[in-house]
Amino acid sequence: MPHFSFEYSANLENMIDIGKLCSVIRESAIETGLFPMPGIRVRGFKAEHYSIANGDEKHAFIDLSIRLREGRPQDMKDAATKIIFEAVKQFMTPALEQHSIAVSIEMRDIDATLSPKTGTIRDHLPT
């Protein structure tokens, strides 16, 4: 059920390893204890076109949206957001020290009544 979808400017690929970042987010999401592992889906989308702040092409960004089925208590969501944010920040520290980058996260609920789902991932996990 939990979705971790991020957008990033194409120039970020010269600053960090995007595939590795996906793993970092997935592992930190498991660590929170809030999300069942089989439902975790992390993915990133590169923007070839972007324009940031004063328009200087050196600026980069990454913006992570976390969506989860409604019903979790606010303090647990807050704690999970913090854990994931810290993991992202730590992974990006060397890049942040060198480059002009904006990092942001937003968590929001999914309306459970209008969000059907199915799938076979659990059948393909090691037992």
Subset of 103-122 contacting a copy of itself (CB under 8 A): 103-108, 110-111, 113-121
Stretch 25-64: interaction string toward a copy of itself, x if CB under 8 A: xx----------xxxxxxxxxxxxxxxxxxxx-xx-x-x-
Cα separation, 55 vs 79, in Å, equals 34
CA distance 25 to 89: 11
In the bound state with a copy of itself, the residue whose beta carbon lies nearer, of 32 and 39, is 39
Binding residue (CB under 8 A) for a copy of itself from 31, 70, 76, 82: 82
Looking at residue 23, the DSSP 8-state letter turns out to be H
In three-state secondary structure terms, 71 is: coil
Helix or strand holding residue 27 (H, E): helix 18-32
Nearer to a copy of itself, 32 or 96 (CB): 96
